[in-house]
Amino acid sequence: MQLGLIGLGKMGGNMRERLRRAGHEVVGFDRNPDVADVASLPDLVKSLEAPRVVWVMVPAGDPTRETVAALGDLLEPGDLVIDGGNSRFTDDFENAKLLGEKQIGYVDCGVSGGIWGLDNGYGLMCGGEEQWVDRAMPIFDALRPEGPREEGFVHAGEVGAGHYTKMVHNGIEYGLMHAYAEGYELLEKKDIVKDVPGAFKAWSRGTVVRSWLLDLMVKALEENPHLDDVSDYTNDSGEGRWTVEEAIALGVPMPVISASLFARFASRQQSSPTMQAVAALRGQFGGHQVMSIAEGEQLRSGAGAEGSTHPAPASEHPSPAAGDAADAGPSSGTGSTS
């Protein structure tokens, strides 16, 4: 089968190679001329025989919307556009409407597999009318992992359902990653545990927490057992946010995925305004020392006392007046356990 593929980055380039290995003809376009097969979108369309199938694999948002709009002006009735990027599902409604007015088909396809998809195959989640999904099925079959189709591909529903399913998939991924990461920190913290990478590897077979993500965690720890010089600054690509927004809109409780998303936000702060406010409040109601940023950094670096108790000089712990005791805690003390 013949396919036009727009966007030949890490995912798109590997997808082109996997499709070619399966015997399909792929004509690729990318803004980088070193990897492109043709010089422009018009050249791409001209090189394909009608009815054409064009797969868009560019960054979500304006780049995808602009590419789809440009294809709407270049393609003909009966052609098909597949958006395989990480677009928000609401964009699919507009893209399908725009192309539908020109009798051009539209399928949204969430793609999972990352840099490993070339050899392992990609998990595919599609949305759209059955006739268009069926048209592209030879392409989907070549991209998905070997084995039963239903274990690597789903026609999830109407337009938007593919990207919606991929969005939820990525939200779950956030939660799973964070659970493994919390377990790593706890194991690292305990002095009696001497082989943290080995502990994770021992979970790889026969345990209920085994998974491909666990295998990747083992690989990362084998390469760098203590994650030396790995920054904790963690980005998010959008799907986790959209998942939480949908949970709010639909009234679905989602504490784990929400917490994992907010942890990523926290990772980007040099200091936490929230915890600064907590420290200031402890000083106000309990007379606890409010440390400077430099003093806090000393504690983080291990130069100060261990743990969260950092006693200040006696002069910095004023005794509350008798009338303040009720506000400080349930006992007559200063609320020092807070």
Q: Is-catalytic flag, 201?
A: no
Question: How confident is the model over 52-66, as a mean pLDDT?
Answer: 96
Please name which of 32, 27, 166, 48 lies closest in space to residue 107, comparing C-alpha atoms.
166
| Entry pTM | 0.85
Give per-residue pLDDT as tens, 213-226.
999 999 999 999 99
Tokens of 303: 């130069």
Give per-residue pLDDT as tens, 106-125.
999 999 998 899 999 999 99
Question: How confident is the model over 166-170, as a mean pLDDT?
Answer: 96
pLDDT band at 301 (very low <50, low <70, confident <90, very high): confident
Least confident of 102-111, 135-144, 152-161, 301-310: 301-310
The pLDDT of residue 331 is above 60: no
| SS3 call for 111 | strand
Identify the active-site residue in 158, 173, 246, 295: 173
Q: Are 262 and 176 in contact (CB under 8 A)?
A: no
Across all residues in the chain, what is the average pLDDT? 89
**Look-up: residue for tokens 């949908």?**
246
What are the domain boundaries of the chain?
2-159, 166-267, 289-328
The pLDDT of residue 273 is above 90: no
Q: Are 328 and 285 in contact (CB under 8 A)?
A: yes
Q: Burial, 290: exposed, middle or buried (Cβ in 10 Å; 0-12, 13-18, 19+)?
A: middle
**Domain 2-159 in CATH: superfamily?**
NAD(P)-binding Rossmann-like Domain (3.40.50.720)
Which is it for strands 123-127 and 105-112: parallel, antiparallel or unpaired?
A: antiparallel
Question: How confident is the model over 168-178, as a mean pLDDT?
Answer: 96
d(CA 178, CA 261) in angstroms, rounded, equals: 9
Q: Is-catalytic flag, 189?
A: no
Angle subtended at Cα 216 by Cα 212 and Cα 221, rounded to the nearest 5 degrees: 145
**C-alpha distances in Å from residue 222, one per residue of 162, 211, 225, 312, 329:** 35, 17, 6, 42, 48
Tokens of 11: 């995912």
The pLDDT of residue 21 is above 50: yes
- b/e map 240-257, b = 16+ CB within 10 Å: bbbbbebbeeeeeebeeb
pLDDT band at 287 (very low <50, low <70, confident <90, very high): confident
For domain 166-267, the CATH class is mainly alpha
d(CA 254, CA 275) in angstroms, rounded, equals: 24
Tokens of 236: 């998010």
Rounded to the nearest 10 degrees, the angle between the axes of helix 239-250 and helix 255-267 is 140
Tokens of 91: 């964009």
In terms of phi and psi (left: phi > 0; alpha: psi -120 to 50; beta: otherwise), the region of 24 is beta
Which residue type, as a one-letter code, is found at position 35?
Answer: V
Please name which of 115, 142, 85, 110 lies closest in space to residue 10, comparing C-alpha atoms.
115
DSSP letter, residue 72: H
Q: Residue 93 — φ and ψ, nearest 5°?
A: -60, -45
HSE (side-chain half, CA atoms, 13 Å) at 148: 3
Q: Are 7 and 15 in contact (CB under 8 A)?
A: no
Q: Are 26 and 139 in contact (CB under 8 A)?
A: no
d(CA 293, CA 299) in angstroms, rounded, equals: 10
